[in-house]
Every structure is written in C-alpha cells, then in structure tokens.
Structure 1
Amino acid sequence: MPRILLIDDDEHLAPPLTTYLKRFDFELAWAPRPSVGLARLREEAFDAAILDVMLPEMDGFELLRTIRQGGEAMAELPIVMLTARGELPDKVVGLELGADDYLPKPFEPRELAARLHTVLRRHRVTAASTPTHVSPPDQLCFEEISIDLARREVRRQGCVVDLTGTEFELLALLAGEPRKVFSRDEILNRLRGHDAELATRAVDILVSRLRRKLEPLDCIKTLRNAGYAFAGAPSTGSAAR
C-alpha cells in the first residue's frame, strides 16, 4: 500500500481524506507544518507527498525546493501540489522546482486519488526504464555551447549560463538528441508530467526563457504544430551525440 504524506495546515482536511484514500489503497499520513513534514520525510519512507501552497513557516514552493535539495530519495519523490490560486505563473514556478502535478482547491478526492495513481505509475515506469549499466557522456559539446551533465553547467561561447534546474533539464533533453523534434507533451512528460492545459503553454514559456539566456545563439528551433528541436552544430571531435 503506497504511503502518502500530506503537508497541509488545514486540520479538517486530513481525517476525511485519510478515510477516503484508503478505498484506493493509499495510506495517508499528515503533517500540519512544513518543519514536521520535512522531519517525517527524512525519517520515514513515503511513496509520494501532497503539498499545499499556502502554508505557515514557508510556502509550498519553498518547501518543494527544500525537498528537492534533500538528497536522492527526496529529490525523486513524486509530489502533487494543492493550490487555491491555479494561475499559470504559479504552475510554471512549480514546474521549474520539480512538482509532478497540480490540483486546485477545492478538489474532488477521487480526482486526487487518480492523480496520485498517475504520478506513482509514471515514477515506476521512469525508474524501470532508466538503464543502470550504460554510462551516458558527461558532456554534450557543440560549436558555441557545451553542456556538462555531471556538473550541470552550461557554457555559451566560453561563458557560464545561469539556468534554473528545469531550464537545464530542457536543454539537456533537446541537445541529447539534436534535430529530433520533441512535442510539447513529450517535453513536459520527460521533465515531470503535467496536465494538458499546462503542457500547451508552460513549455512555450520555458523555451522562451531558455532562448533569452542562450542569446545570441539561435540553437532551439520551433517547428510549427510539431514542437521544438535543438539545432546546434556539433563540435569537431566532440562527444556530442
């Protein structure tokens, strides 16, 4: 039975939700404050977490950032965000910080159960498909840009480019298979997976931000009604694929 940690200061939410989720074979634990939730995540094993955006001590985005920096197990933990705002900028921030899905309040418990099943299934598939015996190249090198995958460092014409975690992952994804066209849905699913509404617009925003940071290079191409592709020229004798 998957163990889920709910971090939410609404004391009226946890008891009925715990009872309801048992019907779907989930064991729900509750932490009323981020500090309590972080302590439990460090001391106990959970299969996923649910974070409210509006919390005491720190908001859900700061909590999400802290979790993602908390070691390998916490960095890969599937996370669903609960937000009463539901605005695209908030969703983009959550995407950049590593949220797996969103559910606006008020929500139907059955929809939460369905989303938990989805993120857990996606997490299992990703873990099972990750090769453990193949060592990928540490660097992707092109004429005017290099991507150090181990150090998570990007250099444009010799200068370090300051990227967010998701911007780096997006660039590494595209540059890992140059000239391959990635659809918006595929990009979103490869990064962490979100709903269709977010897939249509948030990827465009992320690509736009990444392009600005890579200027004057024009290495990310848009293929109308298809998606995006990396078009950097390989460096002679490099390890680029």
Structure 2
Amino acid sequence: MRLLLVEDDVMVASGIKLGLSEAGYAVDWVGSGERALEVLQQESFDIAVVDIGLPGMDGLELLRCLRRPGMDCAAMPVLMLTARDALQDRVQGLDLGADDYMLKPFQLPELLARLRALLRRSQAATTAVLMFGPLELDTANHCAGIRCGEGIQARLQPIELGPREWTVLEYLLIHAPKPASKDKLLQALTGWDKEITPNAVEVYVSRLRGKLEPHGVALRSIRGFGYRLELQVS
C-alpha cells in the first residue's frame, strides 16, 4: 500500500515513516500542505496521514481542497494527526471529510490498526482476512496460508512471503477479481526514495506463482496492463 505522510516535524515524520515502512507500507513524506496538494494532483496514493498543525496551509485547509468535487483523490482515506485536544477541531475535520483522527502522542500499533481499518473500509472489505479461493491473507497478524479441508477438519497451510511478495499479493487480493495494473503494483512497492525497475514486479509475480499455483491459485498476465488472480480449473 502506498501512503503519503504530511508532517512538518522532521523527527516525528522520521519515526512514523520508519514504523510504517517496517510494516510494509511504501511511504512518501512531504512537510507542507502546499506540497502535499501538488503531489496528490500528480500521483495516486492508497491513503494519507495528515498533521493538522502544518505551516502555511494547515491540515484542515488541505483536507478541504482534497475533498473538492472532481479531485482524483477525493475518495482517498485520510487519517488526521493532531496535538490539539479541542473538540471543535476534531468536529471540523470530520465534517470536512477526515476518515479518522489520532491525538499525539500515540502508539504505532494503534496507528497501524486504524490504517488497516480505513483501507478495508475504502475497499469495501469488512474483515482483516482477505480470501480468494483457498488463499487467505491475515492482514492483522501478517500471515498467509492455503486453507485445506472443510469444517472442523480445515487447517491452514502457511505460506512464507517476503515483504514485497506480501505487498504485491495484498494489492492483488484487495482488487480481486479485477486486474491490477503493473504501474499501480510498482507504486505499491516503492516510494520516491527507493529505486525499483518495472521488471522487479515481474520477479515478485514469478515468485508468487511458484508458491500459489501448486494450490490452485493462478496469477494471470494481462498483456500490456498487469495481472489478475484466478482460480485454476481442475
């Protein structure tokens, strides 16, 4: 998942970015509302974390701009961060279109849980477990497996995934049965400060095929576009 962090405090931003990156997010950081608005008009993100107390254009004004009709990012989930404990600030932010709020200081596990909830909601998913045929991806506990058997005899055969394999598979599962473009997968894998070639997506897709196809889950290539999860017909 690609995340935009909008925070002017360098130390706070560095800590948040490190924690989110270790959790598997591709995090890009900007330090002002003006820069965030510029970036969001040019590139796409799955979610944004925005501090209210930004210099110049503050987080509330940025949110007002993002929710304007016609903006490509108008439906993007936004979680607001604030050191302000004023009820009116939170009410105003929610009325302007914020999806959630967190007061500083906060614990990283709670931030991660809230982000997962917002992403599930934005993709119309109501559970932390993403499923496709026998494949299960538990986003809360960060484990994947193949469901074998039925009823009380069912068991989950674990699948070992590297961090980027996880990112690709999670993106494909969230959008299944629709295809995912190669460009979107590339954006989900990396941010501005990391270099990765388009061929890297093919590498991770190939690795996933080797782990999924023996269990009846195929990764179909769509020429000139990207990939889609499909169930193999026996």
TM-score scaled by length of structure 2: 0.51
Unpaired segments of 5 or more residues in structure 1? 127-241
| Aligned residue number for residue 25 of structure 1 | 24
Aligned position for 1:76: 75
8 Å CA contact 2:41, 2:72 repeated in 1: no
In the alignment, the residues of structure 1 paired with residue 97 and residue 39 of structure 2 have an alpha-carbon distance, to the nearest angstrom, of: 20
Q: 1:34 to 1:70 in 2, by over 3 A?
A: farther
- Alpha-carbon shift at residue 123 of structure 1 (Å): 0.5
* Corresponding residue of 1:98: 97
State the secondary structure of the residue aligned to 2:23.
Answer: coil
The 2-side partners of 1:86 and 1:122 are apart by 26
Q: Secondary structure at the match of 2:60?
A: helix
Give, in whole Å, the separation in 1 of the partners of 2:114 and 2:26.
Answer: 15
Conserved in 2, the CA contact under 8 Å of 1:67 and 1:75? yes
Code of the aligned partner of 1:57: G
Q: How many Å apart are 1:39 and its aligned residue?
A: 1.0
**CA distance in structure 2 between the partners assigned to 1:69 and 1:81 by the alignment:** 17
Rounded to whole Å, the distance in 1 between the matches of 2:85 and 2:47 is 21
Whether 1:122 aligns to 2:121 is yes
Give the match's secondary structure for 2:113: helix
> Counterparts of 1:62-73 in structure 2 under 5 Å?
62-69=61-68, 71-73=70-72
Between 1:81-90 and 1:65-74, the stretch displaced more is: 65-74
Cα deviation for residue 86 of structure 1 reads 2.7
8 Å Cα contact 1:18-1:27 kept in structure 2: no
Alignment of 1:160-175 (within 5 A): none
Q: Compute the TM-score of the two structures, normalised by the length of structure 1.
A: 0.49
- Whether the 8 Å contact between 2:81 and 2:101 is mirrored in structure 1 is yes
Deviation of 1:95 after TM superposition, in Å, equals 1.3
The separation in 1 between residues aligned to 2:33 and 2:69, in whole angstroms, is 13
Greater strand percent: which structure?
2
Distance 1:11 1:3, change over 3 A: same
**Aligned residue runs from structure 1 range 91-240, under 5 A:** 91-125=90-124
Counting aligned pairs with the same residue, the percent is 44
What's the offset of the Cα at 1:101?
A: 0.2
State the 1:72 CA deviation.
4.3
CA distance in 1, matches of 2:101, 2:95: 13
Structure 2 gap ranges (5+): 126-234
Q: Measure, in 1, the Cα distance between the counterparts of 2:70 and 2:20.
A: 28
Q: 2:5 touches 2:17 (CA, 8 Å); kept in 1? A: no
Cα drift, residue 112 of structure 1: 1.0
Q: Which amino acid aligns with 2:26?
A: E
